[in-house]
Amino acid sequence: QSGQEVMQAKGQGLMCLVLNCSTPPLDNVKVRQALNYAVDKDAIIKVLLGGIGEPISGPLTYAHEGYDEKLTQPYPYNPDKAKQLLAEAGFPNGFDLKFDTPSGRYLQDKEIAQAIAGQWQKIGVNAQVNPMEWGNFLKEAQAKTWQTFLITQGSGGTQVLLSTCFSSKVKGIPWLHYNNPKVDQMIEDAGKMMDTPRRVQTYRDVVNTIRDEAPWVFLHQLTDIYGVGPKVQDWKPGGGIVLLRGTGVKS
């Protein structure tokens, strides 16, 4: 209709693959890094998301305390580097991998998983994509038995996100056997810190370690899309929850 427009804002969620850090070959950090380098995130955003979205720089979004806007994307698309890392890890011919994904829960979730599997094929990784209904997906995620699965994260504060995803003392649903006592301690310490600059720096230290150790394949930040009617004036989307207040005047 006349006067309507579509507006975009960075969302407070990000899409990732969680890798099982306890089972071969994913217990090798070079393999996990190779899987990151082998994903063409820009192509996925362009082809499957209509160009809406951007590759993420780590496990936090712009809305989280400790987010560092100066961080670059940790693993740009580089299949040659991925092949080199696989060879160094002892898998020059690749390996088989079971890849679980929800189907219909997130925008283009199954299609994104299939695209990633196709990109991994180029470095010799044969990923079997297993789409699942959301309820069954959650039950399986709680069992902590998967090799890798696709999910979105980002809701809640930094302490909640880092604890549930990366602390072996918490073991939330998105946690899949990543175990680094130093990271556990930093997350626990940050949660008790009243000194904001010190807490933010501790979160950034955790983020830098996570980027290096790659317990996730870092994909893209989600974008919120809003249809704005002509009666909505002087509003710009900021992502997350939208609160609307009426004028009290009936038309």
108-124 tens-digit pLDDT: 999 999 999 999 999 99
pLDDT tens-place string over residues 133-186? 999 999 999 999 999 999 999 878 999 999 999 999 999 999 999 999 999 999
Q: Give pTM, 2 decimals.
A: 0.86
Least Cα distance to 178 among 18, 58, 16, 14 occurs for: 18
b or e along 71-96 (b: 16 or more beta carbons within 10 Å of the residue's beta carbon)? eebbbebebebbbbbbeebebeebbe
In this prediction, residue 11 carries a pLDDT of: 54
In this prediction, residue 237 carries a pLDDT of: 46
In angstroms, the CA 119 to CA 117 distance is: 5
In angstroms, the CA 190 to CA 198 distance is: 8
Give the side-chain half-sphere CA count within 13 A for 170: 20
Q: Please check the confidence at residue 228 and state whether its pLDDT lies above 80.
A: no
Which helix (H) or strand (E) segment holds residue 48: the answer is helix 41-48
Q: Please check the confidence at residue 219 and state whether its pLDDT lies above 80.
A: yes
Question: Pairing mode, if any, of strands 54-55 and 148-153?
Answer: unpaired
